[in-house]
Chains A and B, each alone.
Chain A
């Protein structure tokens, strides 16, 4: 039963629509400027990337498919030799600072030992090779970034605790070829906190906005995972504090804690002004810093959102779930006065998201609404049946369902846009609401001209007579 106390979790069949996790190359190759992403997969993977990335594909992107052919599948060709040939080709044409191999479903099924081959090839051709298994057998959409960052975490140099100057790293035993120097975001001398590394790929403008928010509280950010370039990855080690900026980074968090002995700051995610304040407060409390002026700043941001808040207040939302940002977004929208019927989510890491879930619970209590049900691995078909009864004002959903839902009179927002848009920090709260309210604003502008979907049509879905 739903209640104020704890969110209830349900798990369905996992028959839902989402993007393949290899889509992470789209934003990661732009973020890590000296990288080249090689997706080792089939035509199916290539077709997805080519269509999902749209016009980016024409801009000579720094990624490519290593397309497996029948000879590769039946092991008539030597994997190592083939990959070496392609990587040398990439080196000649693009000269990247790092090559990231993205393992796919096919490499899993034929058990291609990418992790085993990478170190050998790396020393042979002299370019670091990072292996991330971002496949659809195990992961959904944004979790692709998680696998890449978890792999990158192993390649950050080891922080030398004995060194007087903390910024001076020593070579990591893991890396043979790289010559990493830690990126110092702020000049030395500001902030006295222990080294803090934030993880999660954000557009550089958003990253510097978050740096600035923390600087206002005298917290110094030591580095980001990922940095702008592979060679500028931060150094890690015991005594380094890490904090995530996105809800889908649980593997990275685990890798940082277990393998690199970092200390994780479990905080809600800086999405929405409420989330941003909670995120900063948590970081400050770990470092024993008293925040100053934070509540005023948050209040100020909320005041600036007033026009949008009037629009969304009392409206209902249904998250079908496909990118793992759902809990944070739902929490923000509840704080905005919306009613959330259901939070669909591909995968729920209750430990990594613990602080976010607690904030969701508190938010629901403050706003006097029931904690929405959280549906893991949702079933799209069942969700659509539920939506027919609930008739939410807005469905946040993938593109496969958006047009059919609109045709049935349910306003939608593509969840993919929320993945690519800038949604973090105080500054971008308005951006989130701009996206969420778009269909509501369209309805106000277009008005009811009488051709919104006919409910009878929506019911007669299976009746061939109503089609065509």
Chain B
């Protein structure tokens, strides 16, 4: 048992439901007690979905506990097949049903005889995997199921399409800015003459999955969902996979170059031409994305050496760490992720771009780290935003878990060239504006709060701040004032000083480097 108030990644069935309900005309039936269908609320509220979420429960109640589900699950599957005529029904176990140890696979077998729809049992273990791993696994399971089925029926589409084409794998419902990212990727690929073959799971039809291998390569924009599918397709059909997240200028270029490599293998044979995306990268970098110019502009100079803490899922935390340190000259004092299963990859990626790495799913550990580091901005999840509020540090949200305000109506991709613009805005607006910062410094801030309201330890002997030093303190911008006050007092205590004068303050500054 562990005491927990907050979790970064949800339970496994949420991942399965995200994948299942991202597909068109796929219905998920949860084997769950009453009230576990909270996923429907999230989708309806966060995504503001206009359609009923295609998820229902086969309720586990006291009777099921006593006698087993018996015919109930099969009846529910058959009924849903008649009502909604879905292509696929995914029976989804929950934490409760997985310890009931009913033979759900047997129900699926029975139901697939009576139902016109395909029926599968999501193969996830609640106590071993989290939301993201389950989403990854379920997507692979669905793809595998349909490719095997197609192979059995001899309908497998193996012949390569005659123009360069790609599958985008891994954009799903309730994913962080997934829909905007997807649009941006579609545009990017269209620009360089690559046709989008299929996008799964969001908006895809399972009836088309047998054609997946026709594409020239797979693009997996997010590390968390889709990689397993891409690996499977590579092993089974030799489809190459581009898994560099096109976030930030450098990695977007890198991603495009990898795509060029994939396309370049076949283009001379099938199209009788060489492909070269370099001119495109150059044009986009210099004229479409403003981020490259922004990093040279005088505004961004003010950000040089400022400190930031980054926390989120592996994809977004990695991307932000690289962008901040490599493209904007910001010092990332700690980069962290809650994707513990992917710690090795994360460590490898952010090495050299940050001072410290933190891999944890305990939000208090993250909060403590932020408290210790005292960065001037945080880039994290909603939880870090609230930590920031408490500590008076600005925070930009870069990763799930998120609130409704992170499902904006306006166009806000994080990937591709437009994404670099969005990120630049987010970063810049999170820091106190350069000139404003400078003026605050000169004129002692526009706040009228006394420095004395900052918390100071009460149990120790009170330190006396002379009028001059108080004035000096009040001239320090508010967001660093507490820190300087604390360090000065620490210095005074260490040296047995009870009366803090301007001299003491300056001495502390010199020695402790505040």
Chain A positions near chain B (C-beta within 8 angstroms): 14-15, 17-21, 40, 42-44, 46-48, 50-52, 54, 57-58, 61, 64-70, 72-73, 77, 82-83, 85-86, 89-90, 105-106, 108-110, 135-141, 381, 384, 398-404, 407, 461-462, 464, 467-468
Q: Are B34 and A18 in contact (CB under 8 A)?
A: yes
Q: Are A106 and B61 in contact (CB under 8 A)?
A: no
Q: Bound complex: CA of A468 vs CA of B25, how far in Å?
A: 12
- Given known pairs A64-B5, A138-B61, A403-B48, the reply for A17 and B40 (CB within 8 Å) is yes
- Subset of 23 A-B contacts with CB under 8 Å: A14-B61, A15-B76, A17-B40, A20-B33, A42-B95, A44-B13, A47-B10, A47-B14, A52-B38, A58-B389, A64-B3, A65-B5, A72-B1, A73-B99, A77-B1, A106-B96, A106-B99, A139-B34, A403-B48, A403-B50, A404-B51, A461-B51, A467-B51
Q: Are A399 and B4 in contact (CB under 8 A)?
A: no
Q: Which residues of A have CB within 8 Å of B49?
A: 403-404
With both chains docked as a complex, state the minimum distance between the C-beta of A140 and any C-beta of chain B, in angstroms: 6
Q: Which residues of A have CB within 8 Å of B59?
A: 14-15
The verdict on B392 contacting chain A, using a C-beta distance below 8 Å, is no
With both chains docked as a complex, state the minimum distance between the C-beta of A42 and any C-beta of chain B, in angstroms: 4
- From A89, A109, A407, contact of B100 by CB (8 A): A109
Q: Are A399 and B45 in contact (CB under 8 A)?
A: yes
- From B10, B44, B60, B100, contact of A400 by CB (8 A): B44
Q: Are A48 and B5 in contact (CB under 8 A)?
A: no
- Given known pairs A20-B34, A65-B4, A399-B45, the reply for A15 and B11 (CB within 8 Å) is no
Q: Bound complex: CA of A381 vs CA of B76, how far in Å?
A: 12
Q: For B4, B48, B49, B52, which residue has the most chain A Cβ atoms within 10 angstroms?
A: B52
Q: Which residues of B have CB within 8 Å of A70?
A: 127-128
Q: For A51, A83, A399, which residue has the most chain B Cβ atoms within 10 angstroms?
A: A51
Report B40-70 residues with CB < 8 Å from chain A CB: 40-42, 44-45, 48-53, 56-57, 59-62, 65
- Given known pairs A83-B1, A105-B60, A140-B35, the reply for A51 and B42 (CB within 8 Å) is yes
Nearest chain-A residue to B76 (Cβ)?
A: A15
Nearest chain-A residue to B96 (Cβ)?
A: A105
Q: Are A109 and B3 in contact (CB under 8 A)?
A: no
Q: Which residues of B have CB within 8 Å of A464?
A: 24-25, 205
- Given known pairs A19-B35, A462-B84, the reply for A109 and B96 (CB within 8 Å) is yes
The verdict on B2 contacting chain A, using a C-beta distance below 8 Å, is yes
Nearest chain-B residue to A137 (Cβ)?
A: B33
Given A14-B34, A404-B52, 15 new contacts (CB under 8 A): A20-B35, A44-B96, A47-B7, A48-B38, A50-B7, A52-B38, A69-B2, A77-B1, A86-B2, A105-B33, A109-B65, A136-B33, A141-B35, A403-B45, A464-B24
Per the CB 8 Å criterion, the residue count for chain B at the interface is 58
Q: Are B44 and A402 in contact (CB under 8 A)?
A: yes
With both chains docked as a complex, state the minimum distance between the C-beta of B48 and any C-beta of chain A, in angstroms: 6
- Given known pairs A14-B59, A467-B24, the reply for A47 and B85 (CB within 8 Å) is no
Q: For B32, B34, B42, which residue has the most chain A Cβ atoms within 10 angstroms?
A: B34
Q: Which residues of A have CB within 8 Å of B84?
A: 462
With both chains docked as a complex, state the minimum distance between the C-beta of B496 and any C-beta of chain A, in angstroms: 34
Q: Bound complex: CA of A106 vs CA of B97, how far in Å?
A: 9
Report B367-418 residues with CB < 8 Å from chain A CB: 383, 386, 389, 401, 403
With both chains docked as a complex, state the minimum distance between the C-beta of B71 and any C-beta of chain A, in angstroms: 13
With both chains docked as a complex, state the minimum distance between the C-beta of A53 and any C-beta of chain B, in angstroms: 11
Q: Which residues of A have CB within 8 Å of B389?
A: 58
Q: Which residues of A have CB within 8 Å of B76?
A: 15
With both chains docked as a complex, state the minimum distance between the C-beta of B150 and any C-beta of chain A, in angstroms: 20
- Given known pairs A402-B44, A468-B203, the reply for A44 and B7 (CB within 8 Å) is no
Q: Are A137 and B60 in contact (CB under 8 A)?
A: yes
